[in-house]
Structure formats: C-alpha cells, structure tokens
Structure 1
Amino acid sequence: MTARNVVLIVFDTARADVLASHIAEESPETSPLAKLATEGTTVETAFAGSPWTLPSHASLFTSTYPSKHGAHAGHKRLESGRRTLAEAFADAGYETVAVSNNTWISDEFGFARGFDEFVKTWQYVQTEADFGAIARTQLGTDRLRAALGRLFDGNPFLNAINAIYGQYLRRRHDDGARRTNEWVADWLDNRIDDRPFFFFINYLEPHLEYRPPKEHAERYLPGETTYEDAMDVPQDAWGYIAGTVDMDDHDFEVLRSLYRAEIAYLDERLGELRRYLEAAGEWTDTVFVVTADHGENIGDHGFMDHQYCLYDTLLHVPLLVHGGGFTDDEPVDELVQLPDLGPTLLDATGVDAPTYRAQAQGRSFHPESAASPREYVVAEYLAPQPSMTALRTRVGRLPSDVRRYDRSLRAIRDEEWKLIRGSDGSTELYHIVADPEERNDLSAGRPDVMRRLDRMLDEWLASFEQAEPSGSVDMAEGTKRRLEDLGYLQ
C-alpha cells in the first residue's frame, strides 16, 4: 500500500528512552504519541548517523553519512553535490514545504533546496535578511548602532518587526511549536494545489534550554521542587563540562523532569497537528513519521547537551511510522538508521527517484522492501562542536581532561557489540546487550571483537568516496547569535 503524502517530523534532541517511557506511561486515549505507536509501526532500534543537528539532518535529507555529504563542524553547510529528499519529491511532482524551528536547518546552511516554501519561525515575516537577534548583538549604544546598521539592509519596516519578534516575543509561549501548528493549519485551510505534498517539520522544544510550560513541568518535578526553583537550575552545558558550573544529582533530576515535560508538551502539539490533517481529509492518505535528529546527555557520561561523544544517549532515536504500508504490526527490532528513511519514504509513496537512490547509503525498511536487514550501524563525529578555541573563549582556561575532546570519532555497532574509535588513537568497546548504558569499557579484554569491528569500520569507509568540502562557510551575525542562544558556540 502506498501513500500519497508524507509528513516527516523531527523532535529535535529527543532521546529514544525518554520518548518510550512517556509512551509506556500514557494511554492512546490521552497521548497522541501513544495512539500513533498503537496504530502504526515503532522502530525500537533506530540510530542517528551523527550526534548533533547539522550533520544528522544532512544525513536524513540525503541518505548519506557525514563522510560522504561533507556537512559537519569542520564545514557547516550541506553543499549542492548531494540530492535532498525534498528535491527527489519535487522531481516527482510533489508540493514541498518545510517549517524549521532550528537555525541550523535553514537556507543559510543548504537545507532549503527542493522546497517550494521554507518557513523559519524565528522570523515573524519571512525575509532573506536575518534580524531575529538584532537586540542581543551589542550592549548600550553599541547595540543601537548595530541595530540601525542592519535595519536598513533590505526592508527597514519588516526588519524592525523581525527584530522585535525575535528578541521579545517568539519564546513567550514555547520554542515555536505553537506558531508552527498555526502556520500548518492556515496552509491546509487555504491550499488549492491538488498535488501530493512532502511536509518537513523540525520542532525544537526538547532542546536546551528546557523551558516547558509550567503546567507540564509541575507534573514531573521531583518532591517539593517548584517551577521557579526548577528554572533556577543551571543549564550551562559548557560551563559544566569545563568545571566552572557545579551540578549535583538533584539538579540533574530536575533537568530530566523538565526535559520529560518538553516531550509531554510536544505530544499535545502532535495531536493538534494530526487533527488539522484529519480535518483537511489528508490523514488517511499520508505516511506520517516522528523521529529525532539525535538524543541528549543530561549528566550521562559526565556530559550535558549532545557533543564530544558517540554514546547511545545521543545516537538512539525514536522512530514511529504510520501509513504507507506501516500498520499496527509488531515493533521493528532490526537495526535502522536515519539515512534509511529516505529510501523507505520513496518506497512508501511509490516514487522512483533514481538519482537520489543511486547516491543513498541508506536502505529501505518498508514492509515490502527487498533490502536485506542491516548487520551494523555507523555514526560519525568528524570535528568537535564547539571547537576548543570557541569553548575556551566562552569559559576561560580549559582543564586538561577537556582538551582530550579535540578529536574526531567514529562508532560501529552490531546487535551485540559497539566500538568507538577516536582520531587520537583512543578506543572504547561495549557489550551493549549486557551493558546498554555503556559503562564498562572492554577494549582491553576483547581483542578479537576489537579487531573484527575495527576491520568492519575500515571496510565501510573504503566502500565510498569521501567528501572533501573546501572553503569557509560564512554565516550572518544574527545567525551566530541565535546559535549561541541554542548553546552552539562558533
């Protein structure tokens, strides 16, 4: 059975274990996520190809890994050498639309290719000039001078509106989910195009900083902790890693509660989105996907945020699929990766897209696909983000144990074992069946497994041509400021 439309949703930074716990504790009558899991297919062993937004979305869009698509911390742009999923659907006659709440996922970094319409929720009025963070760029008279300088670049009136909205109004209620759904509802109500559509949405809410609505947070906060107390808990990932911010077990318990509340809030918004599709008569003819670009460390392995490591806290992502042949059968427990989604969605809609399929490193897991199951999954972290220089600028002198993160990492994981290999010569080996939390490094005691996985990783790397992106990637000052607001130091 093929579907006519595709709605692909990314819950930015959503851990698989937290989403699974939320679904298990809710009911289909009260939780749209639980209802989706009951009616559709849950992929229990889905993994990202990279632990942070830009390279992971690039893999999702192109069905290739960072070594092939070339977008990572060392080159922060998805260049035009790889076809995107939006281009594949556009070539097949689809209307293609995206709504992004994450600054990385924008035209500035190469992600708008193939979309007929690309909405950036940090702008109240969609313009090429980006002034969303204009009031944060400087202090005092310097702020005024910088604002006036940018105000007249393009349409001064629209720029002023975007500046006010980006600084003072956008995050009054949430990180964009409400406005996203309002935009989608209006788009569906006013749509006269009879083509099938491919719709991509990035919801940002689970991302640091965790600021869920008070009524959602109070449901999960521990003990006598008030919402006001919770908002005072430090959320400075880089200060924590560098040892300039102290966190205790209670602090992390609070942060985990806030994170869970963010998921619960998005669950509500997901139900709202589904109702809009149902009211428009599009739900039954749509393949509807909910996943994440990566997970999150909330004190796990000594980290906050989603950088500097390749543990499953960052790589194991939720994946729920409904429609287009995906039904309420048993959950999928074979290994799946985000690059597999592109070929799978093409199969679910009956789209050929030969150019896209030819570049794809992913393999379809559609129920009618003839592709063989994966023997292993791979993840890449090709450069630290933030760099040691950017981190030092933010926090001051770095302890020696932090400087060890100045490296690239690759990981390979089969059904039983996982190897993490660093450019500095470091190795870690985990028996993930017995040690799913990756606490006991067995690299010194299992040389046979080490050699096998090491060889498999080398053979995988040798199986395709590596990307060699050249040239620096410039970004607007306002973009840099918004990324810093998200915790990305440039």
Structure 2
Amino acid sequence: MGHPNIAVVVMDTARATETVPADPTITPTLAELADEGTAYSNAFTSAPWTLPSHASLFTGTYASRHGAHGGHTYLDEGYTTLAETLAGAGYETVGISNNTWITEEFGFARGFETFHKTWQLVQSATDLGEVTRAEHARGKLDAFVSEAFSGNPIVNGLNAIYDEFVRTNADDGAAHTTDWLADWLGKRDGDRPFFCFANYIEPHIEYRPPREYAEPFLPEGTYEEAIAIRQDPRAYDVGEYAITEEEFALLEGLYRGELAYLDAKLGEFRAALEAAGEWEDTVLVVCGDHGENIGDHGFLGHQYNVYDTLLHVPLVIHGGPEPAADEDELIQLLDLFPTLLDLAGVDAPAAREQAQGRSLLTRETPRESVIAEYVSPQPSMAQLEERFGSIPDSLYEYDRSLRAIRTDEYKYIRGSDGSEELYDVEQDPEERFEIAATEPEIAAELAAELEGWADSFEHADVDEAVEMAEATKGRLRDLGYL
C-alpha cells in the first residue's frame, strides 16, 4: 500500500454498551467495517472525557504526561501531534471538529493544513456563539456589537447569521461534516497521501437525533416526550432536577438514535471515499473517545468517574496489513499513535520516543492491563458553585483525581483522597459490587502496579487554568461541561 491515506473518525461519546460488538440494527456501517476489517472488543480510552482523551490520541501519551485535563485545558507544544508528524512526512493533513474542545483555542489544530469548525460558515478565531444564545433581540444585538470588530466584521456577521438562522437545534453536524469531507475529497488535487481527522459529536448530550433515526428505539409515539426531557448533567449532579427510570429509558433510545444517525453519515463518508477513488488506498479508523453514563452509577454524562461505561469504547480498523494484536486483547486508544505511524510507513523516531502506546501491528505480547486517569474534576467544585451558588455536600466527594487499572479480571480505582474501589469485571462487568474490603491482596497488588506505572515517567508540570472566550464557555455549557 506504500504510504496509504489515513482517516480517523471519532464517534464522540460512543460507548461499548451499544457498539461492541457493532449491532447492525443500530450501526450497520460500523458492523460492516468490523466484518471487513478488525474490531477490537476490549479497547479502552485513557481518560473519560473529550479533551484529555483526544490529547492522548493525538500524542500517544497519558494525561499525566501531556498535561491537558480539567486543571489545564490546553494541549501544550511539548509533544508533537500525529498531524504534525504526518505533515512532516509529506501527508496532506485535514481536520474537522464538531466539539468545542477540539479546536485551535485549546491547542488541537497544530499540524493541520486545513482545520474546519462546523459551527462557522467562514473559519475564524472569533466565535459569535453568544449571539445565538441570547434569548431576546436586544441581547443578541449587544452580544454581536461586543464581538463584531474582533477580527473581520464581515466574516463575523456571516458566522452570526449562519449560527442563528441556518444551523438548527436538531443535530445536523454529522450531515455538515460528511458533506464538507465529500466536497474536500472531490476537490483534492495532487498525489500526496492524506491524513484526515473527523470528530462527529452526535451521541453527545444533548441527544436530539432526527425523528426517523430515534423512533425505532423508542416506544411508539414518545419521540416528542423524549426530546422534551431536560438534559443538563451539571444541574442533575447538584440535584436541581431528577430523572425517572422511565425517562432514562427514553434518553437511552435517543442516544441509540444518535448512534444510528452518525452511522448513516459514516456510510456516506465511505461512499465519498469510494467516489473519489480513494477507498482502496485508505486505512479507516473508527473509535469512540469516551463513553457515557445514562443513569449508570447514578450519573448523567461523562464526568467525575472512571467506570467502564466511560472507558470501554469501540475501535475498528479497516484497511492496511493484518494487525498483530488479537481482537479480544486489552487495547488503549493511545496505541493508535504508533500504529498509525506504522501504517503510514513513517519512521519519526522522536515522535515514537514520546509515545507510551504500543503498535497494534508489531507487538508480540498482549497487554496485561490498561490504565486511565481523571486528573482533575471538570467542571471543578468552584465552577459548580459559581453557576449554582451552593451545591450538595455529597458533590465534594468528586473533588479528587482518579486513576484506574484494569486487567481481564479486575478493575481497581484509586482516588487522590485515599479512596479505593475494586471490581471483578469478569463476573461483574457492570461494576455493581465493590470488593476491595473482601479482596485486600488483589487490591494491594493492583495498587502497587498502578503506583509503579505512575512513577515510570515524568509528569507534566501544569496546573493553571486556561482562559477561554465567553462564546466558548457558552458552547461548553451547552455540552454539559460548565
């Protein structure tokens, strides 16, 4: 294959519960890719939310090392990214994002010749999102006037109109993403191979799939009822409102509808690659960056814990040589960094030296464990207090960092507050029964292994908060992060 094209599609917030193995009644395109390629049944992210997980995917390093997490929401330049590495090897590099975290504002556009944000008609560093969020005409005018002359006023005006009147409240990012990618593929000129990264956000809160994709997973006639359910993870955390079991069941139906909708657009992306004559020369990787709790463990969304509902994700690789790693062995998403360099035929010794993952093409022995981190709460307790005033005392239990180590048999979680949890994931895959007190030797063994791992590399020295634009904060609030 020489230097093949590399396409990485992140199904943001896609958890293994609905996607491993790929269910043709929910995700037929993913199921077809899995049948034709390699589907890993035990793939785990190294962080339970978007920013640190993508930073690990882009650099091949854990959050403690790359330093992008809740306490420092920026991917610093200390580590080279996959896009930078492939660009240096002659690849055309193109990225498209539907997630506010994955932009140049947080350090994720480095190495991309073209980087497109789907919420802007004309790409600009100025975000007019506050215009859209203002509820009344005067508020919209004030928001526009305050930002209009930051950058190009004409561009800002076009983006404000696009965000306010053209984009809809229903999920349309996947359609826009696929159309944009198809247009780019149709206009490509040149012989260089490409590296294409795409973040599709549809399974992320708020779940608003088109009716035709949601209704197969909902009781008849309940689509409007399901859409009307409040979806605000942070307000749910602080007890501002409750969700019944019946409502969680409806939200699960919407979530599956989101996956089905995204999968249809994934099929269109494949068709676009075929139409452009690039399919046979392309290695396509499809993965989730983290999972989701939809009432699981008492949570809504993907913060404050490291259960498998957040860490276990789909991973399918289509094209390229047969991987050496078995489909059922433990895989980390950061293994993709050296794997993709191998697939691209790129040496890049400095980039390989930084990577903490192991290539799926060349490794001889399976992993015995995978590790994940939740370095800092996002949002912090202070941010919750700023939004809600007082918060329940129980929430302060989340004011800690977490590390987890998981083998085929056991999962051990250690908190910076000294807390520990142990689960027999072979017998109790839903992590319902905590057994640290009854299995102290196993807990101690895994705790020692986790501590040894943490001591085996230099950690990033970053703890300062990163300033962000008000419009960015608004978009992140919409996604349940603030």
TM category, shorter: over 0.9
Give the Å deviation of 1:145.
2.4
Counting only pairs closer than 5 Å after superposition, residues 82-231 of structure 1 correspond to structure 2 as 82-136=79-133, 141-172=138-169, 174-222=171-219, 224-231=220-227
Give the Å deviation of 1:370.
3.5
Give the Å deviation of 1:361.
0.3
- Of the three residues 266, 273, 276, the one matched with 1:277 is 273
1-structure distance, mates of 2:364, 2:183: 39
Residue by residue over 1:207-243, the C-alpha shift from the partner in whole angstroms, topping out at 9 and shown as x without a partner, is 0000000111111102x44211111112121222222
1:16 alignment partner AA? A
1:8 alignment partner AA? V
Structure 1 residues 364 and 270: alpha-carbon distance in aligned structure 2, compared to 1, 3 A threshold: same
Residue by residue over 1:246-294, the C-alpha shift from the partner in whole angstroms, topping out at 9 and shown as x without a partner, is 1111100000000000000111101100000011111111110100110
The answer as to whether partners of 1:151 and 1:160 remain within 8 angstroms in 2 is yes
Q: Secondary structure at the match of 1:228?
A: helix
Give the Å deviation of 1:372.
2.8
> Hey, what does 2:41 align to over in structure 1?
44
Structure 1 residues 5 and 34: alpha-carbon distance in aligned structure 2, compared to 1, 3 A threshold: same
- Of the three residues 396, 401, 406, the one matched with 2:399 is 406
Kindly indicate whether residue 325 of structure 2 is the aligned counterpart of residue 337 of structure 1: no
- Of the three residues 323, 348, 358, the one matched with 1:363 is 358
Give the Å deviation of 1:374.
1.2
2-structure distance, mates of 1:177, 1:26: 16
1:338 alignment partner AA? L
1-structure distance, mates of 2:456, 2:405: 15
1:463 alignment partner AA? S
> Hey, what does 2:12 align to over in structure 1?
12
2-structure distance, mates of 1:268, 1:306: 24
> Hey, what does 1:240 align to over in structure 2?
236
Give the Å deviation of 1:55.
0.3
> Hey, what does 1:385 align to over in structure 2?
378
How many correspondences in the alignment? 482
Structure 1 residues 343 and 75: alpha-carbon distance in aligned structure 2, compared to 1, 3 A threshold: same
- Of the three residues 305, 315, 322, the one matched with 1:319 is 315
The answer as to whether partners of 2:325 and 2:363 remain within 8 angstroms in 1 is no
The answer as to whether partners of 1:135 and 1:147 remain within 8 angstroms in 2 is no
Structure 1 residues 96 and 435: alpha-carbon distance in aligned structure 2, compared to 1, 3 A threshold: same
Structure 1 residues 471 and 304: alpha-carbon distance in aligned structure 2, compared to 1, 3 A threshold: closer
Structure 1 residues 469 and 330: alpha-carbon distance in aligned structure 2, compared to 1, 3 A threshold: closer
Give the Å deviation of 1:324.
1.0
Q: Secondary structure at the match of 1:404?
A: helix
Kindly indicate whether residue 429 of structure 2 is the aligned counterpart of residue 436 of structure 1: yes
2-structure distance, mates of 1:469, 1:330: 34
The answer as to whether partners of 1:42 and 1:331 remain within 8 angstroms in 2 is no
Structure 1 residues 486 and 416: alpha-carbon distance in aligned structure 2, compared to 1, 3 A threshold: same
Q: Secondary structure at the match of 1:45?
A: strand
The answer as to whether partners of 1:137 and 1:481 remain within 8 angstroms in 2 is no
Give the Å deviation of 1:33.
1.4
2-structure distance, mates of 1:416, 1:113: 39
Ranges in structure 1 where 5+ consecutive residues have no aligned partner: none
Give the Å deviation of 1:346.
1.1
1-structure distance, mates of 2:131, 2:190: 37
The answer as to whether partners of 2:13 and 2:203 remain within 8 angstroms in 1 is yes
1-structure distance, mates of 2:481, 2:407: 31
The answer as to whether partners of 2:92 and 2:193 remain within 8 angstroms in 1 is yes
Q: Secondary structure at the match of 1:317?
A: strand
The answer as to whether partners of 2:3 and 2:193 remain within 8 angstroms in 1 is no
Q: Secondary structure at the match of 1:180?
A: helix
> Hey, what does 1:425 align to over in structure 2?
418
- Of the three residues 291, 295, 299, the one matched with 2:291 is 295
Structure 1 residues 54 and 142: alpha-carbon distance in aligned structure 2, compared to 1, 3 A threshold: same
Give the Å deviation of 1:175.
4.0
The answer as to whether partners of 1:363 and 1:371 remain within 8 angstroms in 2 is no
Q: Secondary structure at the match of 2:41?
A: coil
2-structure distance, mates of 1:381, 1:221: 33
Q: Normalising by the residue count of structure 1, what TM-score does the alignment of the two structures yield?
A: 0.95
The answer as to whether partners of 2:334 and 2:356 remain within 8 angstroms in 1 is yes
- Of the three residues 21, 31, 36, the one matched with 1:34 is 31
1-structure distance, mates of 2:445, 2:154: 62
Kindly indicate whether residue 73 of structure 2 is the aligned counterpart of residue 80 of structure 1: no
Q: Secondary structure at the match of 1:270?
A: helix
Q: CA RMSD in A?
A: 1.8
2-structure distance, mates of 1:470, 1:254: 39
2-structure distance, mates of 1:348, 1:80: 25
